[in-house]
Amino acid sequence: MKGAFMTNPLVRKLGSFTMLSDDDKARLNGLSRSTQRHKAGTDLIAQGDRPREVFLLIEGWACRYKVLPDGNRQIMAYLIPGDLCDIHVFILKAMDHAIGLLSDARVAAIPKRVMLDTLREHPGIAQALFWATLVDEAVLREWLVNIGQRDAYRRTAHLFCEMRLRMRQVGLTHDGAFSLPLTQEQLGDTMGLTSVHVNRTLQKMRAEGLISLQGGVLTIHDPDRMAAIAGFDPNYLHLDRREPLQVSDPAAPFA
């Protein structure tokens, strides 16, 4: 049974925040039991939609994005295996952004009632998801700083450092390498750079022996040096596990 728990990236992610009970793990595995395959380039949720389900990414990458009237796109977040597309997304009258797939993906669609019942019946899961939401907000703040205050080289280094740790959190790094199924255009839409600028930055990193990027797999050869270049401080990812809060505490999970 423990092996089955570890196949679900959501179990790995939430288990990195707090200790989950076997019942919690069983419920999380139940949420991902039924999945569907989706093709890269399709939207799970379009801007203006009113979702009735919460999507859980099991395999592949997705992103939050907005398209401006002139056709330019801004990517505001990456979603990787183990990420939920907003646990309370069905509260919204209409989505103010879209969630699109950056690669082929396997996705579980969790009905609204099932999600609400899970939060009510499993306070350990509710606490872990609350902390995960706080981390999402911290990542967005860091991305704003990245775009506003770092040059292209440090901006790219910072993003790569972050994604390495996020992929490692869900067990998807191997000898320093991890899947990065992004085009240079998509990286540019993330960091406010042109494709040409992204290409020059990647070529510089390759020439300096910092990275290899081949077939959608990124290898960071010297993570410490990369972190020093970026001024990367992983504290905003809050990867240190916290003790579960007492469910009798009326402030949980907000304490």
Q: Domains in the chain, start-ordered, CATH in brackets?
A: 2-237 (2.60.120.10)
Tokens of 2: 């423990």
Nearest to 63 by CA among 74, 54, 48: 74
Please state the pTM of the whole predicted model: 0.90
Angle at 98 between CA 94 and CA 103, to 5 degrees: 150
Rounded-to-integer distance, Cα 235 and Cα 162, Å: 11
Angle at 157 between CA 174 and CA 198, to 5 degrees: 105
H or E element that contains 22: helix 22-31
Tokens of 34: 């039924």
**How far from 159 is each of 79, 117, 128, 220, CA to CA, in Å?**
13, 35, 24, 12
Helix pair 223-230, 152-169: axis angle to 10 deg: 130
pLDDT tens series, the chain, 255 aa: 344 444 689 999 999 888 999 999 999 999 988 899 999 999 999 988 888 889 999 999 999 999 999 999 999 999 999 999 877 666 667 788 999 999 999 999 999 899 999 999 999 999 999 999 999 999 999 999 999 999 999 999 999 999 999 999 999 999 889 999 999 999 999 999 999 999 999 999 999 999 999 999 999 999 999 999 999 999 999 987 666 555 444 334 433
Three-state SS for 189? helix
